[in-house]
Structure 1
Amino acid sequence: MSERLRPRDVAVLAEESASTPMHNATVEIFDPGDSGFDYARLVRLVEDRISFVPRYRQRIQTVPGRLANPVWVDDDRFEIGYHVRRSALPRPGSVDQLRDLASRIISRPLDRNRPLWELYLVEGLADGRVAMLSKSHHVLVDGVQTVDIGQVLLDANPELRELGHDEWHPRGRPSPFSLMAGAVRDSVTEIETVTDTVAVTTGAVLRGVADGARTTGRVLDALTNRSPRAESPIIGPLSQQRRLVMVRTDLADHRKVREVHGGSVNDVVLATITGALRAWLMTRGESMRGIRQIRALAPVSVIDDELEPTSLGSQIAAHFVDLPVGEPSPVVRLHQVSYSFLAHQETGRGIPAARLAGMSGFAPATFHALGARVAGVERRRGYQLCVTNVPGPQTSLYAAGARMVASYPVPPLFEGHPLAIGVTSYDGSVFYGLNADRDLLPDAELLGPCLVEALDELVDSTSAARNRAPRGRRKRKAPEGP
């Protein structure tokens, strides 16, 4: 029997449009070394591991008459070459060229008539390196039944573990009659099926009315030569194009700030983002408009008592924090961000970063996907920016013997939210991935140097703090985490 999509996933599909493709992405850079890692080896690796994520060979099938939610069915036309693709940059390709290529790829929605994922191998980077760009739809990864495919492609050792191809054969395509019969049967035996279908259908109608109203409003504004003024510079209608910003920083710098000023590495990350937003707003003259703070959603990991401690199904909860972009002092900004997380830490349900990063088979992409799910559910609560920060392992990971040297998360953009930030710490570095709407935020590239300067500002403050500290003063014990 085919599994039926949950109401939340159907709602995501109903809200998706050409300007809001609902996929999570990751850009990873690899050093092949002597491994011989290339497109052919990547295809073999995917073929060897895809059985661990069976949903990656399934597509969505609607029910005739929409009598019930769609179901997952095996794709009888599944072709590995369609999903694992090959691209290249003019040698020697730069990170900026890779970023531009990735921006175009993540702008395109996935084909709903096929399994909802794509994987690109990008060749031609300088120093013989290659990049791997993965796209997985928002409804595909739930962290319990399905993890991101990057979860199973990466190994802790350079030696390739061949797990063996499975003898997969797609189950026959269900007929329209069997789909209708299943919907009727579920409606009789499970009252939730009727409730879910009505709720999803009603929600889709209401969303269509709301979208029509927004479109009419934009047309009237254009006809009357009136430009609606947004309440925030990072709130507004999206285009179909994206601009990716990738920034690499040292984890040691974040830890240095934490050691001197207290808090956690996550606090330092958010304080760095706050400082970067402040500097960026000042380049636009936005500080003259009285912007004092930006409401951010920062999903946090909490312990689920019903699951095993090492389960990837650990709950992800919403946490809202006001980023004090109007505060000129970097240290005060850090303390204000740290204070907002005290209540979460005092619950005792938070998962320490070291424990989260040490989970068996851990891959940051899965947790970024879970954070994006939370952002989608909570987006009507008035936040302006989503920041997902996932601590990764501090040892090297490998794909078919090629060492991963960088991992940039690319979170999706939701309607009205033209900027989203993902952060991954891995192997001594902290990687910032910023996904921005290309038309609404044409100067998003400035956020890159602003991030670097904001972190440098925090690092510089540690020297001043140490000089002011009296002799014999005991250092505050750093909290657990990277």
Structure 2
Amino acid sequence: MVDRVRLRDLAFLAEETPEAPQHNATIEIFDPGDDQLDHARLVELICDRIAFVPRYRQRLQSVPGHLANPVWVDDEKFDVGFHVRRSALPRPGTSAQLLELVSRIVSRPLDRTRPLWEMYFVEGLEGGKVALLYKTHQALVDGVHTLDLGQLLLDPKPEPRELDPDDWSPRRSPNPAQLLTHAVRENLTDPASLLDTVRTGSRALARTADRRSQRARSFMSAATGRRPKSGGVLAGPLSQQRRIVAVQTQLVDYRRIRDAHGGTINDVILATITGALRAWLMTRAESLGGLRQVRALVPVSVIDEELEATSLGSQIAPHFVDLPVGEPSAVVRLHQVSYSFQAHKDTGRSVAANRIAGIAGFAPTTFHAIGSRLAAAELRRGYQISVTNVPGPQAPLYAAGARMLASYPVPPLLPGHPLAIGVTSYDGGVYYGITADRDWIPDADLLGVCLREAIDELLDLSSATRQRAPRGRRGPTPKR
């Protein structure tokens, strides 16, 4: 029995282009302690845990004549040293230098002849810190059959968990004749399999025609010197290069704002992003240009039996919210965002943030991967930006005894969407990861500055609200 690539996963492979590589990434910063975490120890840790995610030792193999979707097969030449790479910054490496390195790495597509993931161990950071950069294809992590490897490497205590030795040996890959036989048999006996094959072929033809049309438009634009039309800075063509921005804030600040104005931490984070987008757009030549709202896709956790089940205990559904960037009042923006999410809460399907944060391991890496898959599936719904906010554990986690200090998501960009934002809360911090197209949005660093200013603005207003409140008056009941 062959392990055939599902149609949904195949779409991420088929729609990938050099301008839109379909992989997620995560940056994690560690204090290595007394040299507890080095490259050799990381390789050893991965070898101990990779048995829990068999897909990470499998590669794609196509079927002759494309009579069926490709299959997953064990990589008989699997080399963990190829996938876990060592890099270094000139000491003492700054955050800006690290982000520049990350920007270059995430701009490159993964090698499809090998298992679809890479990890980089980056040394030389200031203060003796080290960084891990995970890079995993969206076709690999679906949250159903495969979790993100990053979820499995971290432990709640400095002492790593003791696991049974992994005695894995690759299964022999089927030869072309066997693949062809399986494909013909499935097409004859399984109508669903035949339908998938037909759909795959039809989509391939449509994508080929679309790419040729795009190339023709690009050629004409270059020949005439005209810039392609777009819907503003939040919509435009992608280049093959990315710019990554990381912003660290404190969870206690969001709690103070929530306690002063009501709502949830998620509402405050989205209001902060709204304020940052407003300030950033106003610094640009086009200003707001009459733009009053930015349509955002925000994946949310729900309990819904009609949706595909995940191994994380909930389903993920799209929630569309109009971020009121045209509203000058930060408090009004917060209330408008809270109102948008109230309908979702009233359905009774929503999953509490503390439940998500309590999932074993470091689940945010898997949730971000699922959120990116959802954003790609909903691309035709007409949103302008995707924002994936995932609450993580509020206690320290460790890799090979080294304490993780920070975790920044690096979401992928989708065609026509040159900006995406991911947010992870962990151990008292809230970490923003901004992915921007380097050519279309050269001032992405400024958006990071605007994020800090937006949270400061809400904090100042919250302090003023508390000072005006009568003595003895109790604030809103805190919510996560």
TM-score, length-normalised on structure 2?
0.97
**Is the contact between residue 144 and residue 310 of structure 2 (CA under 8 Å) also seen in structure 1?**
no
Opposite residue 423 of structure 1, the aligned amino acid is V
* Residue in structure 1 matched with residue 97 of structure 2 by the alignment: 97
| 1:171-190 correspondence runs (5 A) | 171-190=171-190
**Equivalent-residue separation in structure 1 for 2:218 and 2:290 (angstroms):** 26
**Equivalent-residue separation in structure 1 for 2:152 and 2:63 (angstroms):** 32
- Per-residue Cα deviation, 1:10-31 (whole angstroms, up to 9, x for no partner): 1111110111111000000000
* Residue in structure 2 matched with residue 83 of structure 1 by the alignment: 83
- Per-residue Cα deviation, 1:427-464 (whole angstroms, up to 9, x for no partner): 00000000111011011111111100000001111022
**Is the contact between residue 268 and residue 334 of structure 1 (CA under 8 Å) also seen in structure 2?**
yes
Q: Aligned-pair distance for 1:311? A: 4.2
* Residue in structure 2 matched with residue 391 of structure 1 by the alignment: 391
* Residue in structure 2 matched with residue 49 of structure 1 by the alignment: 49
- Per-residue Cα deviation, 1:146-202 (whole angstroms, up to 9, x for no partner): 100011110010002231331111111211010011111211221111101111110
Residue 112 of structure 2 is aligned to residue 112 of structure 1: yes
Q: Aligned-pair distance for 1:470? A: 3.5
Opposite residue 328 of structure 2, the aligned amino acid is P
Partner of 1:299, secondary structure, is strand
Distance 1:312 1:37, change over 3 A: same
- In terms of mean alpha carbon deviation, does 8-17 or 226-235 score higher? 226-235
**Is the contact between residue 310 and residue 360 of structure 1 (CA under 8 Å) also seen in structure 2?**
no
**Equivalent-residue separation in structure 2 for 1:227 and 1:126 (angstroms):** 41
Q: Aligned-pair distance for 1:34? A: 2.5
**Equivalent-residue separation in structure 2 for 1:15 and 1:340 (angstroms):** 32
Q: Aligned-pair distance for 1:466? A: 1.9
* Residue in structure 1 matched with residue 344 of structure 2 by the alignment: 344
* Residue in structure 2 matched with residue 32 of structure 1 by the alignment: 32
> How many pairs does the alignment contain?
480
* Residue in structure 2 matched with residue 468 of structure 1 by the alignment: 468
* Residue in structure 2 matched with residue 278 of structure 1 by the alignment: 278
Partner of 1:246, secondary structure, is strand
Opposite residue 78 of structure 1, the aligned amino acid is F
Opposite residue 330 of structure 1, the aligned amino acid is A
Residue 138 of structure 2 is aligned to residue 138 of structure 1: yes
Q: Aligned-pair distance for 1:85? A: 0.5
Distance 1:288 1:129, change over 3 A: closer
**Is the contact between residue 266 and residue 389 of structure 1 (CA under 8 Å) also seen in structure 2?**
yes
**Is the contact between residue 186 and residue 193 of structure 2 (CA under 8 Å) also seen in structure 1?**
yes
- In terms of mean alpha carbon deviation, does 356-365 or 266-275 score higher? 356-365
Q: Aligned-pair distance for 1:478? A: 1.8
* Residue in structure 2 matched with residue 163 of structure 1 by the alignment: 163
**Is the contact between residue 49 and residue 165 of structure 1 (CA under 8 Å) also seen in structure 2?**
no
**Equivalent-residue separation in structure 1 for 2:335 and 2:224 (angstroms):** 46
Q: Aligned-pair distance for 1:35? A: 5.2
**Equivalent-residue separation in structure 1 for 2:56 and 2:315 (angstroms):** 23
- In terms of mean alpha carbon deviation, does 118-127 or 203-212 score higher? 203-212
Partner of 1:390, secondary structure, is strand
**Is the contact between residue 152 and residue 362 of structure 2 (CA under 8 Å) also seen in structure 1?**
no
Partner of 2:287, secondary structure, is helix
Opposite residue 381 of structure 2, the aligned amino acid is R
**Equivalent-residue separation in structure 2 for 1:310 and 1:418 (angstroms):** 29
**Equivalent-residue separation in structure 2 for 1:335 and 1:212 (angstroms):** 46
Opposite residue 439 of structure 2, the aligned amino acid is D
**Equivalent-residue separation in structure 1 for 2:257 and 2:212 (angstroms):** 48
**Is the contact between residue 35 and residue 400 of structure 1 (CA under 8 Å) also seen in structure 2?**
no
**Equivalent-residue separation in structure 2 for 1:326 and 1:115 (angstroms):** 45
**Is the contact between residue 281 and residue 288 of structure 2 (CA under 8 Å) also seen in structure 1?**
no
* Residue in structure 2 matched with residue 357 of structure 1 by the alignment: 357
Q: Aligned-pair distance for 1:42? A: 0.3
Partner of 1:195, secondary structure, is helix
**Is the contact between residue 5 and residue 71 of structure 1 (CA under 8 Å) also seen in structure 2?**
yes
Partner of 2:163, secondary structure, is coil
| 1:194-273 correspondence runs (5 A) | 194-273=194-273
Structure 2's unaligned 5+ residue stretches are none
**Is the contact between residue 58 and residue 72 of structure 1 (CA under 8 Å) also seen in structure 2?**
yes
* Residue in structure 2 matched with residue 303 of structure 1 by the alignment: 303
**Equivalent-residue separation in structure 2 for 1:336 and 1:365 (angstroms):** 29
Opposite residue 24 of structure 2, the aligned amino acid is N
- Per-residue Cα deviation, 1:277-334 (whole angstroms, up to 9, x for no partner): 1111111033351111111100000124599x99415211001111111111111111
**Is the contact between residue 388 and residue 421 of structure 2 (CA under 8 Å) also seen in structure 1?**
yes
Residue 417 of structure 2 is aligned to residue 413 of structure 1: no
Structure 1's unaligned 5+ residue stretches are none
Partner of 1:286, secondary structure, is coil
Distance 1:237 1:306, change over 3 A: closer
Partner of 1:153, secondary structure, is coil
**Equivalent-residue separation in structure 2 for 1:285 and 1:455 (angstroms):** 24
Residue 58 of structure 2 is aligned to residue 58 of structure 1: yes
* Residue in structure 1 matched with residue 378 of structure 2 by the alignment: 378
Residue 69 of structure 2 is aligned to residue 69 of structure 1: yes
Residue 453 of structure 2 is aligned to residue 453 of structure 1: yes
Identity of aligned residues (%): 64
- In terms of mean alpha carbon deviation, does 469-478 or 91-100 score higher? 469-478
Partner of 1:460, secondary structure, is helix
**Is the contact between residue 300 and residue 319 of structure 2 (CA under 8 Å) also seen in structure 1?**
yes
| 1:310-349 correspondence runs (5 A) | 311-312=311-312, 314-349=314-349
**Equivalent-residue separation in structure 1 for 2:178 and 2:398 (angstroms):** 44
Opposite residue 224 of structure 2, the aligned amino acid is T
**Equivalent-residue separation in structure 1 for 2:204 and 2:255 (angstroms):** 46
Q: Aligned-pair distance for 1:225? A: 3.2
Opposite residue 334 of structure 1, the aligned amino acid is L
Partner of 2:276, secondary structure, is helix
Q: Aligned-pair distance for 1:362? A: 3.8
**Is the contact between residue 396 and residue 403 of structure 2 (CA under 8 Å) also seen in structure 1?**
yes
